Copies of this chain bind each other. A is one copy, B any other.
């Protein structure tokens, strides 16, 4: 057995918000992967935004999904490789790349939405309905 320090010296990592935020997120990603086949949470988020807004520039899509321009580039690229989105230059503003859902992308999102709901339920299963509602409110204030 490894020796432990006394309580006075011990730092309670397991009770640190930052550590637990990271673990909660890790756990949710794992649960999401189990329920939603073929899409990561970030890819799902991108599809959700494109479903909401028919067409978005790549950077704007990134901002709406909390990804910087380097990250969203890769996500769009992988969604494109799966045939779920298309992208083309904007004729009015030549800096922009307009990204859109394909039909397959819209269908995939609609199917994934129900699965994502199940992932959410499993993520929250340790909390009562009342606690879950409260947690979501507090989490919303944090971000």
Against B, the Cβ 8 Å flags (1 = close, 0 = not) of A116-142 are: 100110011011000100111011111
Complex-state Cα separation, A56 to B2, whole angstroms = 7
Would A143 and B20 be within 8 Å (CB), given that A45-B13, A138-B127 are in contact? yes
Q: Which of A21-29, A72-80, A81-89 contacts B (4 or more CB under 8 A)?
A: A21-29
Most buried by B among A10, A13, A41: A13
Q: Check A13–B120 contact: CB distance below 8 A.
A: no
Contacting residues, chain B, for A52 (C-beta < 8 A): 4-5, 10-11, 13
CB-based nearest B residue for A42? B22
Q: Which 6 A-B pairs have the closest CB atoms?
A: A2-B53, A23-B143, A135-B138, A13-B48, A25-B25, A126-B141
21 A-B pairs, CB-CB below 8 angstroms? A3-B55, A5-B53, A11-B52, A11-B113, A13-B45, A13-B49, A13-B52, A13-B65, A16-B116, A17-B139, A18-B116, A20-B140, A20-B143, A22-B42, A23-B143, A24-B142, A25-B25, A123-B142, A127-B138, A127-B141, A127-B142
User: Beyond the given A2-B53, A17-B28, A21-B24, could you list 17 further A-B residue pairs with CB under 8 A, ordered by the A residue number?
Assistant: A2-B56, A3-B53, A3-B55, A4-B53, A10-B52, A13-B49, A13-B52, A13-B64, A16-B120, A19-B45, A22-B41, A26-B66, A123-B142, A126-B142, A131-B138, A131-B141, A135-B135
